[in-house]
Amino acid sequence: AQTVTQSQPEMSVQEAETVTLSCTYDTSESDYYLFWYKQPPSRQMILVIRQEAYKQQNATENRFSVNFQKAAKSFSLKISDSQLGDAAMYFCAYYHGNAGNMLTFGGGTRLMVKP
């Protein structure tokens, strides 16, 4: 079974600084997708960024970028120029498709942004 692990329960960053959230996963599949979701206090899960495993190029979405290391099964999220609105729970998630539309989530990292 696939597992996703986020080893940092909480992280803190100063506004305008850069922070990196870590995620590791375990799978025997070669083709899959990885995601970072943001869950603010409103509880709505928002997709931040997506990475296809067959793509070597790391995904980037504005201030958000990932460092995808397939061999190491590592998938970290870098947030540049952190803003107060970035404060939220961040979840790393895995999707393969061999189990319908099921996503496997990590335990989450709470990000605090200090003004």
Partner 1 sequence: KAGVTQTPRYLIKTRGQQVTLSCSPISGHRSVSWYQQTPGQGLQFLFEYFSETQRNKGNFPGRFSGRQFSNSRSEMNVSTLELGDSALYLCASSEQGYSYEQYFGPGTRLTVT
Residues at the interface with partner 1 (CB under 8 A): 33, 35, 37, 42-46, 50, 91, 95, 97, 99-108
Q: Which helix (H) or strand (E) holds 77?
A: strand 74-79
Residue-by-residue DSSP string for 29-80? -SS-EEEEEEE-TT---EEEEEEETT--SPPEETTEEEEEETTTTEEEEEE-
Beta carbon nearer to partner 1, 24 or 80: 24
Minimum distance of partner 1 from residue 51's CB (angstroms): 10
Minimum distance of partner 1 from residue 31's CB (angstroms): 11
Beta carbon nearer to partner 1, 35 or 75: 35
